[in-house]
Structure 1
């Protein structure tokens, strides 16, 4: 993806629950926009009969040519859990989510980073801390990654509390799989920058390089995870998009805001800024 005079501006997509598809269907289809569905990270949905919802999604997306993904499960666990019984739950939830991906034709799933603020201050406090964390993630996800390779779904690891943006890149690379890559959430990165001493958002993009295949675009104030419409917070959007323009990995640029009724407000702000279409 580049934004030079000879190449088009990147195309925005959006994250939303399936109930919003009717509202944005024409916008998604006419613009060939990427979509991330936000229904399938909940345990009650994954444990229930989600097939009717999947059928409705396929119906609503008839004619959609953009790339489709889902937000994977994350509530209640870390993918680096040390508890072997919890690890079984992690594996189960991820496999359930991959079932969904197969059913609806999704090719990407967002997974939350396991790295915390505590980790940042303690990685050098004990030899092997980082290596042990990697081993715990592999114990939970190796089978999941093998399944993702079989069904053509890429897991993208999203920063949550991450202070050092390079950890997730190293973790993704440790799988040696084309089906494990990196995601950036701009608001999470801006929170970490403002509240925990992390670098600014564009540094996260640079650190990820062409391992970056997914971006959540949301604005924040550097204090909390706001999920505001871009323009309402203090993220330095021109620097973020300059960093993105250097990449060739063509990451999905996904508006992820709390108020789904304002997705087009977010699009308008970034479009008027000359950053996207």
Structure 2
């Protein structure tokens, strides 16, 4: 399979991180695709971002939707909440995220299936998550946006295992729904390769960072214990053609020497600017 495009998350709308500096960093990494983490409480205008990225030959691929306290109007965003008001407010905020990403020109909205929860509430939370995803699919129809549910570290019921999320998305059967594989979350919950195989053809996008298999530290690839060749073999097995989206930009922003391009270079299409 041909090397996949390299992408990276950048932030937008944060007072201490200018857009130009974030785009400079993306180009230094060699990315061609972007995932945007907006400062959702301020709901920053996506139009200048879209223009600035395009002017540099970068494309907006995805955005990280609201979660927890990183919300727009809701007190907290939790798609698995069994509280009717909290659930309705969560869906409403994520609808706003769909609209924002459509205006930014992106395709995949990454959403969390919920937060830490009690295993005894699993069935009720699964029902709430399915209803929330169906409402978001209805809202995303015709926008070109796919709502891609992310696998979480242990403690989210359901949500920590990709097979559970894949089962929900497959049951709903909507083209506006897909999956995000967070390779480092998978490394903690099970292993990256098997969780990727569980996602199968529903895999829409990725979050790529490294850890020691115990703590979600968001280190750059090569700074942890993930078996990268095995993970890329699993991507080949499911014929995934989307970007390899780095989610370690905070570490790289703080110290560029932590980024080891040689770890991913055999598997990705990295641009030189």
Please say if 1:166 is aligned against 2:163.
Answer: yes
Please say if 1:189 is aligned against 2:180.
Answer: no
Query: Does the 8 Å contact 1:16/1:260 carry over to 2?
Result: no
Query: Does the 8 Å contact 2:212/2:225 carry over to 1?
Result: yes
Residue in structure 1 matched with residue 205 of structure 2 by the alignment = 214
Classify the secondary structure of the residue corresponding to 1:227: coil
CA distance in 1, matches of 2:220, 2:111: 23
Out of 69-78 and 31-40, give the one that drifted further: 31-40
Residue in structure 1 matched with residue 20 of structure 2 by the alignment = 22
TM-score, structure 2 length as denominator?
0.81
CA distance in 2, matches of 1:264, 1:106: 30
Query: Does the 8 Å contact 2:8/2:34 carry over to 1?
Result: yes
CA distance in 2, matches of 1:73, 1:57: 18
The two structures, once aligned, show a CA RMSD in angstroms of: 2.7
Please say if 1:178 is aligned against 2:175.
Answer: yes
Query: Does the 8 Å contact 1:255/1:266 carry over to 2?
Result: no
Q: How many residues align?
A: 249
Q: CA deviation at 1:174?
A: 2.3
Q: Which runs of 5+ in 1 are unaligned?
A: 3-7, 124-128, 193-198
CA distance in 1, matches of 2:99, 2:19: 21
Pair 1:135–1:30, CA change in 2 (3 A): closer
TM alignment of 1:79-118, pairs within 5 A:
79-114=79-114, 118=118
Pair 1:175–1:264, CA change in 2 (3 A): farther
Classify the secondary structure of the residue corresponding to 1:242: helix
Out of 243-252 and 226-235, give the one that drifted further: 243-252
Q: CA deviation at 1:142?
A: 2.5
Classify the secondary structure of the residue corresponding to 1:69: strand
Pair 1:175–1:260, CA change in 2 (3 A): farther
Query: Does the 8 Å contact 2:4/2:243 carry over to 1?
Result: no
TM-score, structure 1 length as denominator?
0.80
Residue in structure 2 matched with residue 126 of structure 1 by the alignment = none
Pair 1:105–1:264, CA change in 2 (3 A): farther
Aligned residue among 242, 246, 269 for 2:262: 269
Query: Does the 8 Å contact 1:216/1:255 carry over to 2?
Result: yes
CA distance in 2, matches of 1:97, 1:67: 14
Pair 1:32–1:218, CA change in 2 (3 A): closer
Q: CA deviation at 1:184?
A: 1.0
* 1:20-73 Cα distance to aligned partner (Å, 9 max, x none): 642464765997722100115x3x223xxx22xx23202311243645211000
* 1:240-275 Cα distance to aligned partner (Å, 9 max, x none): 011111223423310001324257964613345x22
Please say if 1:240 is aligned against 2:226.
Answer: no
Classify the secondary structure of the residue corresponding to 2:141: helix
Residue in structure 2 matched with residue 203 of structure 1 by the alignment = 194
Q: Which runs of 5+ in 2 are unaligned?
A: 69-75, 154-158
Q: CA deviation at 1:102?
A: 2.5
Query: Does the 8 Å contact 2:252/2:258 carry over to 1?
Result: no
Pair 1:100–1:265, CA change in 2 (3 A): same
* 1:94-139 Cα distance to aligned partner (Å, 9 max, x none): 11112211221121100012375743xx58xxxxx53x43321233
Please say if 1:61 is aligned against 2:53.
Answer: yes
Query: Does the 8 Å contact 1:29/1:66 carry over to 2?
Result: no
Residue in structure 2 matched with residue 196 of structure 1 by the alignment = none
Query: Does the 8 Å contact 1:220/1:235 carry over to 2?
Result: yes
